[in-house]
């Protein structure tokens, strides 16, 4: 018998159960990005949480971001334990999400564009609303030196000094983006506390007066046996250029600075995420050797 319960907070026991479910999914799907002993990923940090139990076993889990994305849409994550799939768990969890969202616009992530998720979405009346591409390239020993616009220089991020300037540029550069444009100083400082944060891989471009024009924030992922050949992987995490500085090659220069840094760290490959309808960015990344590797999808009702 399946029971579905909403809770606003996870206690120690349910946190452990959710972590075990996410790790079981990662073992099969390669997602989400979580390792044993780590805290839950940030997107699962606060409630409400949906717990679906089958004979006492946590068979399904969902998280609903009721605060919404930058455009007011509620966004959910839904994961079914691999050994409980194709038993109606996903259908029950998705129905509970729809009920909880009420009349609000609701989007649900399907990471990796799993065919089971597509079938579930179609049955529930959801349509494909957004594609987030994962592009991939092996490192290139011939990535050239960045060519910066005249009067522009590069340096690396200084924690405790540069947060406000980065957030201001980020807000202007990503005012169209459902998630990135909402980044706050507190969010950035929380990321700085993470084990993966590396200020030496966070590049800032400034003009001659010291004004921030853009940045490239890189990230390194530990080896994941189900993704990218099971090898350690660098990421073009965020490249943001102030709209007033766009069009002069700064974005490409910042991207190259980060790529060369990741290469010099000895990483064998690099990934990035880009909106599927962002043709200009996809063209730039394609010229740098990136090819489409995976896709994450948001379904909307």
Q: Which residues are annotated as a binding site?
A: 78-80, 86-91, 179, 219, 235, 239-241, 246-252, 273
Handedness of CA 44, 45, 46, 52 (dihedral sign): positive
The residue assigned the tokens 């452990």 is 16
The residue assigned the tokens 């966070």 is 202
Phi, psi (rounded to 5 degrees) for 117: -65, -40
Q: State whether residue 254 is helix, strand or coil.
A: helix
What is the distance between the alpha carbons of residues 211 and 164, in angstroms, rounded to a whole number? 12
Question: Which positions make up the binding site for acetyl-CoA?
Answer: 78-80, 86-91, 239-241, 246-252
What is the distance between the alpha carbons of residues 266 and 240, in angstroms, rounded to a whole number? 25
Residue in 273, 271, 272 with CA at minimum distance from that of residue 297? 273
Helix (H) or strand (E) holding 127: strand 127-138
């Amino acid at each position: 018998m399946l029971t579905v319960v909403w809770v606003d907070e996870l206690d120690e026991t349910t946190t452990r159960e959710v972590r075990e479910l996410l790790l079981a999914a990662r073992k099969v799907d390669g997602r989400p990005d979580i390792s044993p002993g780590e805290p839950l990923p940030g997107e699962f940090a606060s409630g409400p949480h949906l717990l679906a139990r089958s004979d006492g076993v946590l068979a399904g889990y969902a998280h609903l971001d009721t605060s919404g994305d930058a455009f007011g849409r509620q966004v959910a994550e839904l994961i079914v334990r691999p050994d409980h799939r194709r038993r109606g768990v996903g259908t029950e969890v998705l129905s509970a999400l729809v009920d909880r969202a009420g009349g609000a616009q609701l989007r649900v992530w399907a990471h990796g564009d799993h065919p089971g998720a597509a079938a579930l979405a179609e049955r529930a009346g959801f349509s494909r609303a957004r594609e987030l591409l994962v592009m991939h390239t092996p490192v290139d020993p011939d990535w050239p030196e960045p060519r910066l616009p005249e009067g522009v220089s590069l340096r690396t991020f200084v924690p405790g000094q540069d947060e406000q300037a980065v957030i201001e540029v980020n807000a202007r550069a990503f005012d169209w983006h459902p998630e990135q444009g909402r980044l706050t100083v507190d969010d950035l400082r929380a990321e700085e506390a993470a084990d993966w944060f590396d200020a030496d891989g966070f590049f800032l471009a400034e003009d001659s007066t010291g004004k921030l024009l853009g940045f490239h924030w890189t990230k390194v992922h530990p080896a994941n046996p189900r993704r990218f050949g099971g090898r350690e992987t660098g990421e073009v995490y965020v490249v943001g250029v102030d709209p007033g500085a766009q069009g002069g090659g700064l974005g490409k220069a910042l991207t190259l600075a980060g790529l060369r840094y990741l290469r010099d760290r000895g990483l064998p490959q690099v990934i990035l995420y880009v909106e599927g309808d962002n043709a200009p960015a996809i063209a730039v990344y394609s010229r740098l050797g990136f090819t489409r590797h995976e896709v994450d999808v948001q379904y909307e009702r």
